[in-house]
Structure 1
Amino acid sequence: MKIRFENSMPLAADYLNAFGTAEGFESGSLMPEDLVDVDVLAVRSTTKVDADLLNCANRLALVATATAGYNHIDTGYLKQQGIAWTSAAGCNAQAVAEYVLSVLANAHLSGKLNLRTATIGIVGAGNVGTALSILLDAISVKYQLFDPPLEETGDSRTFADWQSILSCDVITLHVPLVKGDYFPTENMINAAALSQLGKSQLLINACRGEVIDESALKTRLMQPDAPTVVLDVFYNEPNIDTDLLSLIWLATPHIAGHTVEGKLLGTQRVYESVCELSGKTPELTLDDFIASPQAITLQDNDKWLSCSLLPVLKAILSVYDIRDDDRHFRKGLSDGVAFTHMRKNYRVRRELAGHQIVAGFSLHAETLDMLKKLGMRVHSV
């Protein structure tokens, strides 16, 4: 079996060499003639897979993307050609959910909202929305779900209507980009929706830039009663409208899902797809490659002994604080660093489950329970 894989897939060679010849390529360098006699093409979102790229692919059986989204793949063309394809759906769900959790922790600690009384409107109850709801349950924060396609399938969860979502203290977007007549998400946050959001509300977009009408957003943000906005995604990436940054609270270069665990899980899913194609039982798991949990040592402080949400939020931020990425992003752009470069060279970031809280004293029972439900390992006396 001959495999070509995008080099930005972590540990791809370690996973794929067992199947035969596995050769990497740099993003943007793959040419049609490189796919002659290739059986499997494994990519990330930076490689567009369409008829032009595949016109020399004479025996391609599988295209596998190590990303949750697959807008970069012409799935219709693959179907016409009888080529199977897979995505790593859900691989970055935990990472994106924890990104939103970091936003919420910062908003609470800065006085922008009170998580003890706030309601979070989760738009999209798929992999990411579900992961976020589990995190919110862990810290006893109220939320409402909005997902008409899932509701239509008979999903047993309780769903809110659109007007209820627009009345929530926080609206966070986790939908795929869908164009057309069947539950479209393109510009779902339009001028009409934005006009209903006030200065006490927070809007977060960590899915696709086109889900918000960016022109309408700029107009709304220049009004005195505008909502607070956090964006990880933008129109026209990587050539984004940098004028928008001065109008929003926090901004990052499409890295919400870029954790060590999320990226490696994408490679794991590709590996499992190749196993299925070749009729082999998967033998490798994330545990074969992932590093041991990183330790966070707590100082003996009364705040950890109280029954309070505050210490839990600070623990969350000790793992991942979005303000660091916001600061580096804005500085990078001011220094002329390209959006794509910042994504490609993003720092090492672990998820909550990749950390262990170490305390030389007993934590309050409720604090301990919340930390464990968030997925963190805890060692205390």
Structure 2
Amino acid sequence: MDGMPNILIDKNIPYALELFNKVGRTKIFDNKTLHKKLSKNTDILVVRSVTKVNERLIKNTGIRFVGSVTSGTDHVDKEWMKNNGVFFCHADGCNAISVVEYVISALLSQIDHRNFQLKEKVFGIVGYGNIGSLLRFYLNNLGITTILYDPIMSPTERKKGEIFVTMEELVHRSDIISIHSSLDSSSYHLFNEDILDAIGTNRILINTSRGSLIDNQALALLFHKGKKIKIILDVWENEPHISEYLFDRVMLGTPHIAGYSIESKMRGVFQIFEKLNKFLKKEPMSFMKDRFLPIPKFKEIYLNGSVNQEDLRSLIHLIYNANDDSFLWKKMHERDRKNSFENFRNNYPIRREWSSIEVNCNDVSSFSLLKKIGFIAKSL
């Protein structure tokens, strides 16, 4: 790749022009115009999960580098790129904090705080990678019992205190199940009709990973038969063409935005930018990354005494309440069922993570807990 490379980058990736203009001639695209903009002169393509990157898209171009600012990779044909000399990279783990915060925020927005104490529940985590392990860490610090299922993790990788069980045992024992597996041929419809039917009445099932980990048609059929389970879905089969039947019946539904905090997006784009620099054999560039972040609505608060579940819910929802996204999307969907999924994602407002707020504590236990789960905590 001689001289300044030609870079095409998704228009909805933040900080794109500020960063990538430093190493090449950068142009933005959306999925409607991408085919027209690709050419023999295109050297580098930077995408999100909404762009399917395969032979059909890039065969007759000059692309030698594809970067995806996402942790998932099921939207790209890695094998074809590898066999055809196209370097591929993704931002593994960039959205872990954002997804974990979404899961906890969503749960706290739905439970009846007078009768439902998370500390009394068993929380099953399916998939123990970047997100599943971070979720367990947060939950354990909150005093919540966790059990784990991961079919691809070998026993030698497991650490002391981690309780791994079979899928059948996890479904039987868990009051809440959260899915964080990658999607491949072995995990497709991991939650099939039999597994879904085995989930107990009024248990909670959360999917923030990939839509096809749950057989959406089987889930709809069970609902039709009168199955009573509570569903939180951020991901759906056949996105953006989702099941309207499920949409009307989930406890909380959002259009694949669990990992959409501005910090998550920033981590993703910086990871790809750094990998591109290495690919181009350029000297690493250092940035004050915090200067890219917007000023949060709430910067500093004071917390008196120890933290209970209601205090935690109030604190978390001061920053982000997943139920607000669910409510707004449903309103948008009522007006435009065809386009609401993509419109909501493409126009998603700035969302900060828990680390955006400084909590001053006069209680040592509160200070310790909040610091462990990602807040900027200070002891008074």
| TM-score (normalizing by structure 2) | 0.90
Cα–Cα, structure 1 residues 61 and 144, in superposed 2: closer, same or farther, change >3 Å?
Answer: same
Q: Determine helix, strand or coil for the equivalent of 2:21.
A: helix
CA contact (8 A) 1:8 1:27 kept: no
Q: CA deviation at 1:379?
A: 4.8
* Deviations 1:55-92, CA, capped at 9 Å, x for gaps: 3223x221111111122211121112111100111111
Aligned to 2:167: 162
Corresponding position of 1:368: 367
Residue type of the partner of 2:164?
A: F
Show the counterpart of 2:377.
378
Question: What is the CA distance between 1:35 and its match in structure 2?
Answer: 3.0
Alignment of 1:199-218 (within 5 A): 199-218=201-220
**Does residue 311 of structure 1 match 2:311?**
yes
Aligned-residue sequence identity (percent) comes to 29
Question: Alpha-carbon deviations, 1:275-319, whole Å to 9, x = none?
Answer: 11112242234334234555356588xxx4245333123211221
Q: Residue by residue, what CA displacement relative to the aligned partner does 1:193-217 show, whole Å, maximum 9, x if unpaired?
A: 1121122311001111111111221
**Contact 1:118-1:169 at 8 Å conserved across structures:** yes
Give the aligned partner of residue 198 of structure 2.
Answer: 196
Shift of the alpha carbon at 1:33?
6.1
* Counterpart residue number, 1:259: 261
- Select the residue among 123, 128, 136 that pairs with 1:125: 128
**Structure 2 partner of 1:96:** 99
Q: AA paired with 2:146?
A: Y
- Partner secondary structure for residue 154 of structure 2: helix
**Within-5 A mapping of 1:1-381:** 1-31=5-35, 34-58=38-62, 60-110=63-113, 113-151=116-154, 154-156=157-159, 157-166=162-171, 167-179=173-185, 184-224=186-226, 226-285=228-287, 286-291=289-294, 294-295=297-298, 298=301, 304-306=304-306, 308-336=308-336, 338-357=340-359, 363-379=362-378, 381=380
Which secondary structure state, in structure 1, belongs to the residue aligned with residue 83 of structure 2? helix
Shift of 1:3: 1.6
SS at match of 2:268: helix
**Mapped partners of 2:74, 2:307: distance in 1:** 45
* C-alpha distance in 1 between matches for 2:276 and 2:81: 17
Q: 1:261 to 1:33 in 2, by over 3 A?
A: closer
Task: Give the AA of the match of 1:161.
Answer: T
SS where residue 63 of structure 1 aligns? strand
Q: Distance in 1 between matches of 2:125 and 2:114?
A: 21
Kept in 2, the 8 Å contact 1:204–1:230? The answer is yes
> d(CA) in 1 for partners of 2:35 and 2:59?
10
- Report SS of the residue matched to 1:150: coil
Spell out structure 1 runs of 4+ moving beyond 6 A: none
**Contact 2:299–2:357 (CA<8 Å) still a contact in 1?**
yes
Conserved? CA contact 2:299–2:356, under 8 Å: no
CA contact (8 A) 1:307 1:367 kept: yes
User: Contact conserved, 2:203 with 2:229, CA < 8 A, in 1?
Assistant: yes
Native 8 Å contact 1:28 1:46 kept in 2:
no
Shift of the 14–43 alpha-carbon distance from structure 1 to 2, 3 Å rule, reads same
Residue 173 of structure 1 aligns to which amino acid in structure 2? I
DSSP 3-state at the match of 2:170? helix
CA contact (8 A) 1:293 1:354 kept: yes
Distance 2:343 2:65 in 1: 29
Which has the larger displacement, 280-289 or 187-196?
280-289
82-91 or 286-295, which moves further after superposition? 286-295
* RMSD value, Cα: 2.2
Deviation per CA, 1:201-235: give whole Å up to 9, x if none. 11001111111111221122245551111111111
**Are 2:300 and 2:357, in contact at CA under 8 Å, matched by a contact in 1?**
no
Assess, with a 3 A threshold, how the Cα gap between structure 1 residues 194 and 14 changes in structure 2: closer, same or farther: same
The two structures have a TM-score, normalised by structure 1, of 0.90
**Structure 1 counterpart of 2:168, one-letter code:** Q
Query: Are the equivalent residues in 1 in contact too, given 2:126–2:148 (CA < 8 A)?
Result: yes
Q: 1:246 to 1:112 in 2, by over 3 A?
A: farther
Deviates more, 1:72-81 or 1:205-214: 72-81
Alignment check: 8 A CA contact 1:232 1:256 kept: yes
User: Would you say the 8 A contact 2:29–2:37 is kept in 1?
Assistant: no
Q: Distance between the aligned counterparts of 1:315 and 1:95, measured in 2?
A: 16
1:191 & 1:21 partners in 2: Cα distance?
50
- The residue identity in structure 2 corresponding to 1:3 is I
Q: Which runs of 5+ in 1 are unaligned?
A: none
